[in-house]
Amino acid sequence: MSKKGVKNYLSITYSEDRRPKTDFPYKLASYLNDKYNLKRYKTLVDFGCGRGDMLEAFSKINLEVSGIDNSDEINKLNDKYKTYQFNAEDENINIGDKFDIIFSKSLIEHLRNPLQFLTNCKNLLNENGLVIILTPSWYHHNFGPFYLDSTHVTPFTIHSLNDIGLYAGFKSVEVDYFYQLPFVWKNKFLKIIPKTISTFRIPYFPMYDKLFPKIWPNEVNKIIRFSREVMLISIMKL
């Protein structure tokens, strides 16, 4: 995607009207910190950091954070964080730094060359570090939600995400399904709730957008939406 396209994507799809800021990024950062013991690391870069929501969240758990993005919008974050402007699919990215953790949420599905992106991640990763990738599960999205975002081009399944991580040269790749519902994160037995909801064709609005009627209150809608729009989470290590 061109820089102009990325700028328009952030200002339209991630506008305050469509995606108002919430405490979800901090809940996610805290969960990942607890599950993967992130406090033993020092530095983190968010690859595809957008408007910086996850940078702010990870900084609150005492990580030294930096951001990489292709958009000129990243310059708005310069006062708070160290930032780098690169396309994720550029070859031979050399920024003079390496990181203990590389985090990337909802980026790889936008790329036509995800193997180059993961190769860049490998080259920017410190020894004994880890890469955390979050992307929509094609198995759960193939009936429509994936292509509601016109910039989604590369869907992934558990098997394809595992394989491309190995192709990029990571020695260890783990992939699992992930619900964006904080109430299920610490009690695996509660996963029965979104699994049950997902079996019914309950209507919901997929974005905070006037294009979609608000059939349910926001909190109810989120539970329905994210019971069906399941993510993949992958941990990759050298």
Return d(Cα 13, Cα 231) in angstroms, integer.
19
Q: CA distances (Å), 86 to each of 17, 55, 63, in order?
A: 27, 17, 22
Return d(Cα 162, Cα 174) in angstroms, integer.
7
Tens of pLDDT along the chain (238 residues) come to 544 555 566 555 555 666 667 899 999 999 999 999 999 999 999 999 988 999 999 999 999 999 999 988 888 898 899 999 989 998 878 888 899 999 999 999 999 999 999 999 999 999 999 999 999 998 876 556 776 777 888 999 999 999 999 999 999 999 999 999 999 998 889 999 999 998 888 887 776 555 566 677 888 888 988 998 899 999 999 9
User: Which structural domain range is residue 177 located in?
Assistant: 3-237
- Structure pTM? 0.88
Q: What tokens appear for 57 in the block?
A: 């969240």
Q: How many domains does the chain have?
A: 1
Which domain CATH number covers 131? 3.40.50.150
